[in-house]
Amino acid sequence: MIDSHQFDTEFINNLLYIKKDYSKISCLLKDRTDIRSYVILGKIELYSGNIDEAENFFTKAGYKTGIAYCKFLKGEFAEGYKILSDIKEQSSFCHWLICIIEIFLNKKENIPTYFQIRNYYEQDIEMLFLYKRDKEIGNILNFSQYISNFNMEIFKYNGRIMLNHGFNEIAEQFLKKSLDVCYNDPETHYLLGELYIKTNRIQLAKESFNKCIKVNNGYYPAEIKLKTIK
């Protein structure tokens, strides 16, 4: 049990991000009124699809970046952007959030870094899927060419996301575009192989897995797949 004077951050983060045991965290923190607990409870609600409750907890905590993120997921871009502009926070996530909101607002005054795109892009698209923001997903995909100026792996990221959500044709287009940009990326070949298996194109799957191994000798997942489909 976590009392009012203790907060085991590592333990809570393990429950939140690794085990995803939201009910246990809620039980542990239900009687706490400190800022950190409100932020964690807000994240639980956010990841559970309860965005209004999440925003409520973030407001109690005074966690303005969290509030701005909720605005982003609701499609309230101007409101989110104003919050972020006012607080002038220097964290990597805050800067990324400003960049992605600017894309929707057609501002593009700030430039995202390669690592910000790698670290946050896919998780944000997944959150947009969670909240059924189909229009926003389509819009951000349309900016792939622009985002590729800062991280050329964006086409692979899009392909993986679309594949995971069953949009096979769109996934194939992005993965092939990824190979046009960077043919020697073994993961893209592997993802194409997965897509071909999913769409029952077994010979193409074999070819993709073999290409994957050719550009990265010993790529274990591809070797396992080849053994499986043989």
Q: For residue range 101-151, what is the model confidence (pLDDT) as tens digits?
A: 999 999 999 999 999 999 999 999 999 999 999 999 999 999 999 999 999
Q: Spell out the domains of the chain, with CATH numbers in brackets.
A: 8-62 (no CATH), 68-147 (no CATH), 152-230 (1.25.40.10)
What is the mean predicted confidence (pLDDT) over 197-221? 95
CA 38, CA 62: separation in Å to the nearest integer?
9
Tokens describing residue 36: 């950190």
- First-last CA distance in the chain: 52
pLDDT tens for 180-191 read 999 999 999 999
| Residues 15/21, Cβ–Cβ less than 8 Å | yes
pTM: 0.91
Whole-number average pLDDT of the chain: 93
Number of neighbours of residue 124 by Cβ within 10 angstroms: 18
Q: How much is the pLDDT for 4?
A: 43
Per-residue model confidence (pLDDT) at position 230: 67
> Which pLDDT score is estimated for 71?
98
Residues 169 and 51: their CA atoms lie apart, in Å, by 31
Token pair recorded at residue 93: 């996530």
Alpha-carbon distances of 67 from 6, 31, 76, 84, 101, rounded to whole Å: 26, 22, 11, 9, 14
Share of the chain above pLDDT 90, in %: 83
Radius of gyration (Cα) for the chain, nearest Å?
20
128 close to 136: Cβ distance less than 8 angstroms = yes
pLDDT of residue 20: 87
Where do we find the tokens 């605005």?
Answer: 71
Counting residues of the chain whose pLDDT is more than 70, the rounded percentage is 97
For the cut 60, the answer to whether the pLDDT of residue 48 exceeds it is yes
In this structure, are residues 44 and 26 in contact, taking their beta carbons and an 8 Å threshold? yes
Asked if the model's pLDDT at residue 3 lies above 60, the reply is: no
The C-alpha atoms of residue 39 and residue 66 are separated, in whole angstroms, by: 8
DSSP 68: H
